[in-house]
Amino acid sequence: MILQVFLLSSKGDHLIYKDFRGETDASIINIFYEKVVALPGDQPPIVMYHDGLHLIHIRQGGLYFVATSKSNLSPFTVIEFLNRLAALIKDYCGALSEKTVRMNFALIYELLDEMMDYGYVQTTSTDILKNFIQTEAVTSKPFSLFDLSNVGLFGADTQQSKVAPSTAASRPMLTTRGDQGSKNEIFVDVIERLTVVIGSNGTLMKSDVQGEIRVKCFLPSCSEIRIGLNEEFSVGKSQLRGYGTAVRVDECRFNESVRLDEFENYRILKIHPSHGEQTVMQYQLYDELPLAPPFRLFPTLERDPTGRLLIYMKLRCDLPPKSSALNVSLNLPVPKGTLSMSQNLSSPDQSAELQQSSKSIQWDIVRFPGGSQLSAMFKLEVPGLSSASLLEVGPASLSFELPKHTCTGLQIRFLRLSVSQPALPQRWVRYVTHSDSYTIRI
Amino acid sequence: MTDSKYFTTTKKGEIFELKAELNSDKKEKKKEAVKKVIASMTVGKDVSALFPDVVNCMQTDNLELKKLVYLYLMNYAKSQPDMAIMAVNTFVKDCEDPNPLIRALAVRTMGCIRVDKITEYLCEPLRKCLKDEDPYVRKTAAVCVAKLHDINAQLVEDQGFLDTLKDLISDSNPMVVANAVAALSEIAESHPNSNLLDLNPQSINKLLTALNECTEWGQIFILDCLANYTPRDDRESQSICERVTPRLSHANSAVVLSAVKVLMKFMEMLPKDLDYYGMLLKKLAPPLVTLLSAEPELQYVALRNINLIVQKRPEILKHEMKVFFVKYNDPIYVKLEKLDIMIRLASQANIAQVLAELKEYATEVDVDFVRKAVRAIGRCAIKVEQSAERCVSTLLDLIQTKVNYVVQEAIVVIKDIFRKYPNKYESVIATLCENLDSLDEPEARAAMIWIVGEYAERIDNADELLESFLEGFHDESTQVQLQLLTAIVKLFLKKPTETQELVQQVLSLATQDSDNPDLRDRGYIYWRLLSTDPVAAKEVVLAEKPLISEETDLIEPTLLDELICHIGTLASVYHKPPSAFVEGSRGVQHKRLPPRTGSNESVESPESTQPVVGQSADQPPAVIPSQGDLLGDLLNLDLGPPASTVSSGPTSTMQMGAMDLLGGGLDSLMGDDAEGLGGDLGGSPAIGTSFGSPAVMPASLNVPVGGGLGDLFDLGSNVGMPCGSYVEPKTVWLPAVKAKGLEISGTVARRMGTIQMELTLSNKAMQVMTDFAIQFNRNSFGLAPAAALQVHTPLSPNQTIDVVLPLSTVGPVMKMEPLNNLQVAVKNNIDVFYFSCIYPISILFVEEGRMERQVFLATWKDIPNENEAQFHIKDCRLNSDAVSNKLQNNNIFSIAKRNVDGQEMLYQSMRLTNGIWVLAELRMQASSSSYMLSLKCRAPEVSQFVFQSYEAILKN
């Protein structure tokens, strides 16, 4: 059973400390911090042991969430619980940071009291919790939908009218009583993470997609909503629907609250969303992308007569011409002996530098339109360049964001609220693909 | 206005100010004040002085304020028990409040106040709340029973709360059910013998029904509870599996893992030819794969579990190799785990893919990861024969990179490949030799030297190479020194003409200039071997080596089975049994997988003498020590044969003498027949000291051995003779191969009225062992260590020590099969090891075992005849006096002697430590050499073991 739960700031300040069993004392907090700071990189920091006490922690929002136990409990339970705690704090206080936690400590204590009793997890569902929570969240500044200063991911293309700012969904879940400017809104986000390995000969060796549909609900009263997916959506290899290009995933998991009676025939998910954020559906696709992977790299390595290493790279973005990739960053390890680098880039909105600490080239492209191609030439000064040191070059890894794009092709056909709301709520559907691990071998 | 201001004030009169505010009339101000108090509490300031003032705020109808006050109370009630009583009235009143939130709050808080006095006030409100109409109150009350049980277990039983709790399992509300199961599980754990969670088919059915109703967290409690149940047969097992399988697609990974645990355990009972079994295997893969898309923290924990599952049932994930490929942005600890699993899953079918991956990894940046990747390539070569050639060429490519640590690691694994496929890849030796100078790690140097020595006849300049190492001989690590010594001796045996000088040099370096006993002793052995019989030396040193087996780092099968029962818990992350890291788990029984009840696979009968269950169906793969010990193994391998060759004739006697003189256990000499202890001693110090003690030895190598020491031995045995009771000779309980180099032999003896375990610990690994500890499993007579295992100094490699561990008989009792079986766990800094041993029951005979004659007669008549057991003791020619003397020394007391028709009858009694009396009639025929023993006892199952003791005592 869990004995204690505590939250620490990244500097080790005690933010929250709750002892559920009275079997241990608070001195463990400082011991934990000393241990976690002293950890060498290659050691799994998840489970630590000190004097009969097991310490399990996660890090979110720059904070340490820690639980302790003496028994042989399930670390999965603890990690899931701590993750939910972090999510709930985010839901209730709007964001997860040292500041919001400090401001709302009384609320968090109250949450903890309802979430866990005597070390047993009670509930982590906002629906149930909202019946018990009395304290109201304190936010640092009133939320404004028009605060567009922080344009990011989702709101990349601000020219287009119907895009919500990325901060729109990060605000406290409103309690039943307070209705300070309660916006009547619901967000449905489709988020995919892409893992790709392209071999040195250009073959696609691995391509996985992990995706999820998340609903953030800020409606005053949540009645049933219906989310329609592509009709061609199919699960598993055998099951193909229709003649068109199927939207296929290998596995699919649904939140407990999702009703699937119309899923089989109409691909409709029905849920009663609770306040705040929840993951409605998670899915995976292995090894069969419906489209070509978004990026291809054509590198050439050469030694010029003066003994320098020339790396010429052509990077092509295979997205449809209308969309584009953002914040593309390519990282290429180079020989350890590299001293300096000169560069020649094809267009001005790129930048590149040699990172001395990791001996790698970092090539950044802020915006990369689909169907276009960029190239770069790097000349490296490597004393004693041998053929073996050419082996040290690569693999290249890319990180990027693809707004308004899903790799599986999953789309939300419609989002319907069944019961007529007093005022028609704003409905937002957003798509984004992140790179999880995109590797191109050289 | 935000809460953060509460953290900022630290003025002097703060407590005073707070006091004033707490006593304010205004509600808002009070609330603010209590918040401030709690903020101070969080950062660790002592605000206990405000206790009465805060308690005064308790009587309020504002729920938010009330919750805050209760929060404070929970924290400080323990340090202020008298004050806490002040609050009791409000608690009791709140338990009657019309608002269910307040009722629940009161009962929750009262349980958390761990003050004895409060418990008596708690009972009535708790009883009401357990039957409350509101489920929120009931679920809180259910937990409260567990809280109260922790404070006062007796009270909870007397008040009948446990029965109420059992009823709550069938409650209509899922949260109530979940908490009831959780509370009962915990209470049951502290009372292992109570049948609180009486798991029978009916109650299991109830739990399975509740499983569908429960919240996700409740499902975890229920699944964990199910995992403790052992189904009666495969049919029941299958039906439970069918009902648990849907949980595998749950979004909560803790639910998934608990379900996997149940399935992995119950699968054990399903016959493998069943269609359902195959289906189940297929169903297990997707949820495990899905876990790998979670956060790195969960991924790591999942990978540790998958590592166990793959070892137990590789077929589950054999097609999923790709998901274990490393992503460049995985944290290093995830990468290393994935690599490990990749090797375990490597097979002929996927080896090409795996190798291509590993080659990529070997050029990455992270040093630890690269090293492990290179090692992995070597392990692939050893595991999949068809791939060996490709692995070797991959390794050669890597050596070409000249990256220092890659080269060294590659050489270490190539050595293993040579051992697995001798005389196949020698062509690469030339390439290896080019890199000789860049090797700076002992392991790599030792591996290279081994290769040079092993293939000396094919390397033209082997002598030059080895000579170059010899220059800095004293600066090398022991590992390298030992290897160099062996390699040069090998070289000498292969090319005797040109290397005489070299071998002289290394032998004198090893024997005369070194302080290291291992090195010195090995030097002497070679020296003597070479000078007495070079032909024999050749046979011994150049003997064909056994091949190394393919799987390394496997978890020992019994431990693996136990860990499978603990899937999804900390044990599965640490890969250690819970007893190794959970306090107070001494009495906790090790979990075992249920035996398979399948159709054609019941190989072992249930009453099999093997104490280890669960090994039945699948033949467990042999475990060889991990990489680190491999070399040690290798070294001993060179040495093993010489020891046994040497120990012939007088030498062996001498070894025995030396051995026991060392150990100081003169008594044990009696038992020590010269039955080849020396044989498996290998290069242990026993031999070493016998050579080392007479200082003259090394000078004249041809001195016949024996002599003085042999006499000493005789003396020793004379001293030993008249002394005390029978002691079994030490036997090897834990062979070194099973315990990463730790060998334990021992015996259990009764000396001067105390029972003691006499252990000989030998370190056959290459690293120092420390932190020894010992634990017994529960056993038939409650044997338990009476003191800690006294190993004061670290045990260095090849050192042997004797330890005496006093035992008591007051430990927890559980009937074992056979009765005198004892399961022992020994821990050291390396790992925890398990073994079981059999002790003679005679050690349990107490000194007060003499029965009055009358009592004897009455008891004999009183015990029913079916309890009588008769045995023959053959081939024993002692007269009755000698017999009764011998037996008396072992606390078997002769009460009367009769002579009937040329038969002598001895009537004897003995008493076991647990109070069981055993009565015996020993009939001795003057004419024959066989005795007849009749035993009567109220617990007839001990008779057989008493007989065994008789036989052992009389024949020794």
Query: Does the beta-carbon distance from B322 to A286 stay under 8 Å?
Result: yes
Average pLDDT score over residue span B604-610: 39
Predicted confidence (pLDDT) at residue A252 exceeds the cutoff of 90: no
Average pLDDT score over residue span A227-244: 71
Does any CB of chain B come closer than 8 Å to the CB of residue A110? yes
**pLDDT score recorded for residue A7:** 93
Which of A18, A118, A138, A434 should be substituted to probe chain B, the one whose Cβ sees the most B Cβ atoms within 10 Å? A118
Average pLDDT score over residue span B289-308: 90
Computed over every residue of chain A, the mean pLDDT equals: 81
Predicted confidence (pLDDT) at residue B634 exceeds the cutoff of 60: no
Predicted confidence (pLDDT) at residue B610 exceeds the cutoff of 50: no
- Per residue in B81-127, pLDDT (tens digit) is 777 777 888 888 888 889 898 999 998 888 887 777 778 888 888 99
Computed over every residue of chain B, the mean pLDDT equals: 78
Higher pLDDT, B4 or B945: B945
Query: Does the beta-carbon distance from A26 to B2 stay under 8 Å?
Result: no
Minimal CA separation from B357 to chain A, in Å: 10
Predicted confidence (pLDDT) at residue B681 exceeds the cutoff of 50: no
Query: Does the beta-carbon distance from A58 to B297 stay under 8 Å?
Result: yes
Where does residue A285 fall: left (phi above 0), alpha (psi -120 to 50 degrees), or beta otherwise? beta
- Per residue in B356-371, pLDDT (tens digit) is 899 888 888 788 889 9
Q: Which residues of B touch A395 (CB under 8 A)?
A: 328, 360
Task: Name the band, by pLDDT with cuts 50, 70 and 90, for residue A65.
Answer: very high
Query: Does the beta-carbon distance from B301 to A47 stay under 8 Å?
Result: yes
CA nearest to A154, candidates A168, A173, A171, A143: A168
Q: In whole angstroms, give the CA distance from residue A361 to residue A372.
A: 22
Range with lowest mean pLDDT among A347-356, B162-171, B186-195: B186-195
Query: Does the beta-carbon distance from A117 to B108 stay under 8 Å?
Result: yes
Query: Does the beta-carbon distance from B327 to A195 stay under 8 Å?
Result: yes
Query: Does the beta-carbon distance from B42 to A16 stay under 8 Å?
Result: yes
Q: Which residues of A touch B68 (CB under 8 A)?
A: 106
Average pLDDT score over residue span B745-757: 86
Predicted confidence (pLDDT) at residue B5 exceeds the cutoff of 60: no
Length of chain B: 956
Minimal CA separation from B254 to chain A, in Å: 5
Predicted confidence (pLDDT) at residue B470 exceeds the cutoff of 90: no
Q: Which residues of A touch B252 (CB under 8 A)?
A: 80
Query: Does the beta-carbon distance from A46 to B179 stay under 8 Å?
Result: no
Query: Does the beta-carbon distance from A284 to B251 stay under 8 Å?
Result: no
Mark which residues 374-413 of A lie under 8 Å from B by CB: 386, 388-389, 391-392, 394-395, 397
Predicted confidence (pLDDT) at residue B462 exceeds the cutoff of 70: yes
Does any CB of chain B come closer than 8 Å to the CB of residue A114? no
Task: Name the band, by pLDDT with cuts 50, 70 and 90, for residue B589.
Answer: low
Predicted confidence (pLDDT) at residue B538 exceeds the cutoff of 70: yes
Classify A377 as helix, strand or coil: strand
- Per residue in B483-499, pLDDT (tens digit) is 999 999 999 988 888 88
Does any CB of chain A come closer than 8 Å to the CB of residue B101? yes
- Per residue in B219-248, pLDDT (tens digit) is 998 898 888 888 888 888 999 999 999 889
Average pLDDT score over residue span A370-396: 84
- Per residue in B908-917, pLDDT (tens digit) is 998 888 888 8
- Per residue in B313-359, pLDDT (tens digit) is 989 998 888 889 998 888 888 999 999 999 999 888 899 889 989 98
**pLDDT score recorded for residue A424:** 73
Q: In whole angstroms, give the CA distance from residue A103 to residue A99.
A: 6
Q: In whole angstroms, give the CA distance from residue A69 to residue A73.
A: 8
Alpha-helix runs per DSSP H in B495-569? 500-512, 517-532, 534-541, 557-564
Range with lowest mean pLDDT among A28-37, A295-304, B411-420, B578-587: B578-587
Query: Does the beta-carbon distance from A72 to B570 stay under 8 Å?
Result: yes
Minimal CA separation from B582 to chain A, in Å: 6
Mark which residues 149-208 of A lie under 8 Å from B by CB: 193, 195, 197, 199, 206, 208
Among A58, A72, A254, beta carbon nearest to B569: A72
Predicted confidence (pLDDT) at residue B137 exceeds the cutoff of 80: yes
Q: At a CB cut-off of 8 Å and minimum separation 6, what does A181 contact?
A: A142, A143
Q: Which residues of A touch B568 (CB under 8 A)?
A: 74-76
Among A14, A73, A286, beta carbon nearest to B42: A14
Q: Which residues of A touch B44 (CB under 8 A)?
A: 14, 26
Query: Does the beta-carbon distance from A120 to B179 stay under 8 Å?
Result: yes
Q: At a CB cut-off of 8 Å and minimum separation 6, what does A192 contact?
A: A209, A210, A211, A212, A406, A407, A408, A410, A432, A433, A434
Q: Which residues of B touch A42 (CB under 8 A)?
A: 332-333, 336, 366, 368
Average pLDDT score over residue span B631-646: 35
Mark which residues 237-276 of A lie under 8 Å from B by CB: 251, 253-256
Q: Which residues of B touch A20 (CB under 8 A)?
A: 112
Query: Does the beta-carbon distance from B570 to A255 stay under 8 Å?
Result: no
Higher pLDDT, A151 or B375: B375
In chain B, % of residues over pLDDT 90: 13
Would you list the DSSP string of B396-461? HHHHHT--HHHHHHHHHHHHHHHHHSTTTSGGGHHHHHHTGGG--SHHHHHHHHHHHHHTGGG-TT
**pLDDT score recorded for residue B40:** 85
Q: Which residues of A touch B330 (CB under 8 A)?
A: 437
- Per residue in B781-796, pLDDT (tens digit) is 888 888 888 877 788 8
Average pLDDT score over residue span B183-193: 79
Length of chain A: 442
- Per residue in A171-201, pLDDT (tens digit) is 555 444 444 445 678 889 999 999 898 888 8
Parallel/antiparallel/unpaired status of strands A247-249 and A233-235: parallel
Q: At a CB cut-off of 8 Å and minimum separation 6, what does A57 contact?
A: A32, A36, A45, A46, A48, A64, A65, A66, A67, A82
Higher pLDDT, B787 or B373: B373
Task: Name the band, by pLDDT with cuts 50, 70 and 90, for residue A78.
Answer: very high
Q: At a CB cut-off of 8 Å and minimum separation 6, what does A135 contact?
A: A104, A106, A107, A110, B64, B67
**pLDDT score recorded for residue B72:** 87
Predicted confidence (pLDDT) at residue B644 exceeds the cutoff of 60: no
- Per residue in B60-74, pLDDT (tens digit) is 888 888 888 888 888
Query: Does the beta-carbon distance from A255 to B64 stay under 8 Å?
Result: no
- Per residue in A407-430, pLDDT (tens digit) is 888 889 888 887 665 667 788 888
- Between the two ends of chain B, the Cα-to-Cα distance in Å is 90
**pLDDT score recorded for residue A394:** 78
Distance of CA B554 to the CA centre of its chain: 14
Average pLDDT score over residue span B809-831: 85
- Per residue in B854-865, pLDDT (tens digit) is 788 888 888 888
Q: Which residues of B touch A197 (CB under 8 A)?
A: 325
Predicted confidence (pLDDT) at residue A57 exceeds the cutoff of 70: yes
Q: Which residues of B touch A118 (CB under 8 A)?
A: 111-112, 143, 146-147
**pLDDT score recorded for residue A156:** 39
Q: Are A374 and A347 in contact (CB under 8 A)?
A: yes
Query: Does the beta-carbon distance from B401 to A73 stay under 8 Å?
Result: no
Q: In whole angstroms, give the CA distance from residue B949 to residue B728.
A: 10
Query: Does the beta-carbon distance from B581 to A75 stay under 8 Å?
Result: no
Among B3, B400, B569, beta carbon nearest to A105: B3
CA-based Rg of chain B, rounded to a whole angstrom? 35
> Cα dihedral sign for B830, B833, B837, B843?
positive
Query: Does the beta-carbon distance from A392 to B295 stay under 8 Å?
Result: no
- Per residue in A141-150, pLDDT (tens digit) is 544 444 444 4
Q: Are B551 and B383 in contact (CB under 8 A)?
A: yes
Q: In whole angstroms, give the CA distance from residue A267 to residue B923.
A: 89
Average pLDDT score over residue span B876-882: 80
Q: In whole angstroms, give the CA distance from residue B229 to residue B232.
A: 9
Does any CB of chain B come closer than 8 Å to the CB of residue A304? no
Query: Does the beta-carbon distance from A123 to B175 stay under 8 Å?
Result: yes
Average pLDDT score over residue span B802-830: 85
- Name the residue of chain B whose CA is nearest to A210's CA: B293
- Per residue in A106-119, pLDDT (tens digit) is 899 999 999 999 88
Query: Does the beta-carbon distance from A76 to B566 stay under 8 Å?
Result: no
Cα separations in angstroms, A432 against A156, A400, A405, A406, A411: 11, 11, 6, 6, 11
